[in-house]
């Protein structure tokens, strides 16, 4: 496909939407077998280690394992981690697990790390990490139940999406909203600009 800015190694509809809103020309490619939906324990079990480093390592593995149809554009891989007191809160396997994860966040602040890795056609890797701070109010059991009933928590780190309409009790304290949603577009632009300058 001629004229591409990048291949996106992701199955996330939110990341696709952010790239589309930014006007970047992209095509999708698989992030590798380890990250196929339903594969890999990282989906529902928090990793052991520093959360920001876990995000960076996973983004790099996704970039290395991606299989674009042609080597005519860079491959972008991204990973987002919710960090509560230095521990990763990953995705929830079911409604009960989502309730437990959200219960830990209520009335507190936490960090969200989104790691970006750009693999250029010559195999070079470029990284950028974006971090934001999110605060959760404690809305009471009825509002929490409405969010859990919505199912919007499915497939999302920390069992929430800050943009979800049924989640008015989450607010951005520091950083950018797109970092929390799952891709900091300005970081992607910087990585692409650096790769073009080096070519």
In terms of Cα–Cα distance, which of 113, 111, 114 is closest to 136?
Answer: 111
Cα 133 from Cα 139, distance rounded (Å): 19
Q: Is 79 among the residues known to form the active site?
A: yes
For residue 28, what are the β-bridge partners? 8
Euclidean distance between CA atoms 75 and 68, whole angstroms = 7
**What distance lies between CA 195 and its chain's CA centroid?**
22
Q: Which residues pair with 119 in a beta bridge?
A: 75, 125
Beta bridge partners of 111: 83, 133
Beta 170-174 vs 87-89: how paired, if at all?
Answer: unpaired
Contact 152, 91 (CB under 8 A): no
Round to whole Å and give the CA distance between 136 and 169.
Answer: 6
> Active site residue: 79, 83, 152, 178, which one?
79
CA-CA distance, 197 to 159, in Å (whole number)? 38
What residues act catalytically? 79
């Amino acid at each position: 496909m001629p004229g591409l800015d990048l291949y996106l190694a992701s199955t996330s509809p939110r990341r696709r939407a952010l790239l589309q809103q930014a006007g970047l020309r992209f095509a999708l490619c698989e992030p590798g077998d380890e990250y196929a939906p339903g594969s890999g324990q990282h989906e529902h079990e928090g990793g052991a280690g520093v959360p920001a480093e876990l995000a960076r390592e996973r983004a790099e593995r996704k970039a290395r394992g991606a299989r674009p149809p042609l080597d005519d554009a860079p491959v972008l891989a991204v990973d987002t981690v919710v960090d509560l007191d230095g521990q990763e809160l990953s995705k929830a396997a079911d409604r009960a697990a989502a309730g437990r994860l959200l219960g830990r966040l209520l009335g507190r602040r936490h960090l969200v790390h989104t790691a970006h890795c750009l693999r250029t056609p010559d195999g070079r890797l470029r990284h950028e990490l974006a971090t934001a701070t999110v605060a959760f109010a404690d809305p009471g059991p009825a509002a929490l139940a409405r969010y859990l009933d919505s199912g919007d928590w499915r497939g999302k780190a920390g069992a929430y999406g800050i943009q979800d309409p049924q989640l008015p009790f989450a607010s951005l304290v520091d950083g950018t909203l797109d970092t929390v949603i799952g891709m900091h577009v300005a970081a992607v632009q910087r990585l692409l600009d650096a790769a073009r300058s080096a070519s």
